[in-house]
Amino acid sequence: MGKATGFLDYERENAIAVEPKQRIKNFNEFHTPLSKEKQQLQGARCMDCGVPFCQAGMLIGGMASGCPLNNLVPEWNDLLYNGNWEQAYYRLRKTNNFPEFTGRVCPALCENACTCGLNDDPVCSKQNEYAIIENAYKKGYAKACVPKVRTGKKVAVIGSGPSGLATADQLNQRGHSVTVYERSDRPGGLLMYGIPNMKLEKKYIERRIDIMKEEGVEFVTGVDVGKDIKAAELMKKYDRIILCCGASNPRDIKVPGRESKGIYFAVDFLKSTTKSLLDNNLKEGTFISAKGKNVMVIGGGDTGNDCVGTSIRHGAKSVLQLEMMPKAPEKRTADNPWPEWPKVCKTDYGQEEAIAVFGHDPRVYCTTVKKFVADKNGNVCKAQLVKLESKKDEKTGRMSMVEVAGSEYEVEVDLVLIAAGFLGSQKYVTDAFGVEVNERTNVKTSDGSHATNVKNVFTAGDMHRGQSLVVWGIREGRDVAREVDESLMGYTNL
Tens digit of pLDDT for each residue in 386-424? 999 999 888 888 889 999 999 999 999 999 999 999 988
Domains and CATH numbers, the chain: 6-139 (1.10.1060.10), 154-248+423-489 (3.50.50.60), 263-418 (3.50.50.60)
User: What are the tens digits of pLDDT across the range 199-243?
Assistant: 999 999 999 999 999 999 999 999 999 999 999 999 999 999 999
Q: Which residues contact 452 (CB under 8 A, 6 or more apart)?
A: 243, 433, 435, 436, 443, 444, 445, 458, 459
Predicted TM-score (pTM) of this structure: 0.96
Average pLDDT value for the chain: 96
Q: Which residues contact 37 (CB under 8 A, 6 or more apart)?
A: none
Alpha carbon distance 358, 50 (integer Å): 47
Cross-strand partners of 418: 265, 298
Q: Which residues contact 395 (CB under 8 A, 6 or more apart)?
A: none
pLDDT at 1 over 70: no
Alpha carbon distance 114, 360 (integer Å): 32
**pLDDT for the residue 188:** 98
**What per-residue string of b and e applies to 311-345 under the rule 16 or more CB within 10 Å gives b?**
bbbbebebbbbbbeeeebeeeeeeebebbbbbeee
pLDDT at 50 over 90: no
Written as one string, the DSSP assignment of 174-239 is HT-EEEEEESSSSTTTIIIIIS-TTTS-HHHHHHHHHHHHHTT-EEEES--BTTTB-HHHHHHH-S
**CA triple 53-170-445, angle to 5 deg:** 75
Written as one string, the DSSP assignment of 77-100 is HHHHHTT-HHHHHHHHHHH-S-HH
User: pLDDT over 70 for what percent of the chain?
Assistant: 100
